Structure 1
Amino acid sequence: MTVDNDHIYTFPDSYDGRAPFPLLVGFHACGNPIDQFINLTRGSAFETEYVRAVGRSSDSGGCWNYNNDIAKVLRTYDDLMNNYCIDMDRVFATGHSSGAQMIVQILAHRSDAEHMNFKAVAPVAASDYGALQVPMPVMYIQGTNDTVRGGDGASTVARFRTANMCQMSSTPYSEVMGCQSSGKTVNPGCVSYSGCSEPTIWCSHDDPAYSNTSHGVPCFAIQAMYDFFTNMP
């Protein structure tokens, strides 16, 4: 279902409005189309097992602005909960760049974070917007040499680690497999932090994609997100 310049919902063929389905909410990056995450998840298990919902930012340049866009995001969420058969306990979010920043900003505002009630999130190349107000299972993904962000996302990861009461120590997270991108074998570089109240995974990868900036959604990300989300208890 598409509402021009506002949002798109897609439903698996097996959706009949009776059995609740998990929901994937996707936030596009600056300059990317509204259906960025529809396209990225096409042919994946997200397409056949999840309702997918993506919205368009209000900014003319295609970037998300928290103050301008949060009301629309909450309205779209309420529409899905009130009018479709969604498992309210299995709402997941991902976003890229500006869209990932929108997720982080939602989590930095307690009332909005509690309203959206995400089960887990997987932001790709976000930024630090201050302390997160709720604990949150996370798979945080960012290039080790992200030249757009000018860093690897360590400060953003630290916000999740604090919210989830993690220790500083971590162990390799081998559940994420390598892949091929731009003629390179990509190392996902994922670790799992110890002692956390919620699963906290950081994938500091070396995929050069997105015009060789390492700022893009890496080749392993969609499958890794699906596995992470679907295995949530």
Structure 2
Amino acid sequence: MLKPGAYSSFPAVALMLLACSSETGSPGAGGGGAGPTSGGAGGADASAGSGETASTGSTSNDGGSSSSGTTGDSTGGASPAGGGGTGTGGAETPTGNPSPGCGKSGRPQSGTVTVDNDHIYTFPDSYDGNTPLPLLMGFHACGNPIDQFINLTRGSAFEAEYVRAVGRSSDRGGCWNYGNDIAKVLKIYDDLMDNYCIDMDRVFATGHSSGAQMIVQILAHKSDAEHMRFRAVAPVAASDYGALQVSVPVMYIQGKNDTVRGGDGASTVARFRTANGCEMSSTPYSEVMGCQSSGKAVNPGCVSYSGCSEPTIWCSHDDPAYSNTSHGVPCFAIQAMYDFFTELP
């Protein structure tokens, strides 16, 4: 278990959405880009403006590589994938903080709930409707299908242990726009809590580019952040949208030479560092394992900040994924996110 002040040394075993409005293999004009250095023409709110398709592994024109899988047009590829005691009453008390939906129903047919062009929920084999499970909310990037994040985590421990929920942005697969989309995101969250068995103390979020920007903006709005109560987040290549209104454990991931964002994400990291009361000093965070991408041995480049109220990790990596812009989801991300989330107390 982690303890305050010891975040740089907690153990771990060894995440997703991609960017953009144009399904080409190189940056192009996009429908967003409210961040400081986003790739395309500015949109109404926050989106990445580069043309990216999703793929995996070591393929170079991908926005979301992971450790294994096949390349696909605008799809995120696959990544690597209690005993009862004695006593009266008979029923075992569920662990975790059960949502109001616990006990309402069992596992949905085929373990999936789909509302076309709106959202998809997936439930692991272990889901029984009574024992609260952790939730992973994923935010797709511009130009990617709703199931892109589900594909990225296919075969991983997230699929086996977490309820996964993905929604579609209001422009049907384009960039997330906070003003247009926050009501939908809150509705999805409330639906999950009210009708399914979720551990309300273990709600996690990840996303890439436009999807990561959406997460950062939620954290910059106090009422929304407090409503969703993320236990931790792992944005990949987001942007700086001002002061964050809550402290939250974070693993922030961005290529150190991200040409779509125009840098390594230092200004965004600074917002998390301030919100979490961190010192400027950091130590190497070697728990994240390296990987291979595009024929290159990738250095995750992770550090852990000192003195934080919540774990604050920055992975400034050198994965060349996505046409050498370093804007893609790096090959180590899925496993690193899972380990980070799992080791939290």
TM value normalised by structure 1: 0.99
Choose which of 281, 284, 288 in structure 2 pairs with 1:176: 288
Task: Provide the residue aligned with 2:316 in structure 1.
Answer: 204
Residue 132 of structure 1: SS of its match in structure 2?
A: coil
Conserved in 1, the CA contact under 8 Å of 2:302 and 2:316? yes
Structure 2 distance, partners of 1:73, 1:92, is 14
Structure 2 distance, partners of 1:166, 1:36, is 34
Conserved in 1, the CA contact under 8 Å of 2:144 and 2:173? no
Structure 1 distance, partners of 2:135, 2:173, is 27
Please say which structure displays the higher CA radius of gyration. 2
Choose which of 144, 154, 159 in structure 2 pairs with 1:47: 159
Measure how far apart 1:111 and its partner are. 0.1
TM value normalised by structure 2: 0.67
What stretches of structure 1 of length at least 5 have no aligned partner?
A: none
Task: Provide the residue aligned with 2:255 in structure 1.
Answer: 143
Residue 192 of structure 1: SS of its match in structure 2?
A: strand
Structure 2 distance, partners of 1:59, 1:138, is 28
Q: What is the number of residues matched between the two proteins?
A: 233
Conserved in 1, the CA contact under 8 Å of 2:204 and 2:231? yes
Q: What is the CA deviation profile of residues 113-155 of structure 1, one whole-angstrom value per residue up to 9, with x for unaligned ones?
A: 0001000000000000000000010000000000110110000
Conserved in 1, the CA contact under 8 Å of 2:117 and 2:172? no
Conserved in 1, the CA contact under 8 Å of 2:145 and 2:173? no
Measure how far apart 1:59 and its partner are. 2.0
Q: What is the CA deviation profile of residues 135-190 of structure 1, one whole-angstrom value per residue up to 9, with x for unaligned ones?
A: 01000000000011011000000000000000000000000000000100000000
Cα pair distance change 1:61/1:2, threshold 3 Å: closer
Structure 1 distance, partners of 2:248, 2:118, is 27
Kindly report structure 1 stretches of 4+ aligned residues shifted beyond 3 Å: none
Q: Percent identity?
A: 91
Q: Which has the bigger relative contact order, CA under 8 A and spacing at least 6?
A: 2
Measure how far apart 1:47 and its partner are. 0.3
Measure how far apart 1:211 and its partner are. 2.2
Structure 1 distance, partners of 2:215, 2:311, is 17
Q: Comparing both structures, which one devotes a greater share of its residues to strand? A: 1
What stretches of structure 2 of length at least 5 have no aligned partner?
A: 1-112
Q: What is the CA deviation profile of residues 25-52 of structure 1, one whole-angstrom value per residue up to 9, with x for unaligned ones?
A: 0000111111111011001000000000
Residue 215 of structure 1: SS of its match in structure 2?
A: coil
Residue 103 of structure 1: SS of its match in structure 2?
A: helix
Residue 100 of structure 1: SS of its match in structure 2?
A: helix
Cα pair distance change 1:12/1:173, threshold 3 Å: same
Task: Provide the residue aligned with 1:117 in structure 2.
Answer: 229
Conserved in 1, the CA contact under 8 Å of 2:146 and 2:173? no
Measure how far apart 1:60 and its partner are. 4.7
Structure 1 distance, partners of 2:144, 2:305, is 32
Structure 2 distance, partners of 1:109, 1:134, is 9
Q: Comparing both structures, which one devotes a greater share of its residues to helix? A: 1
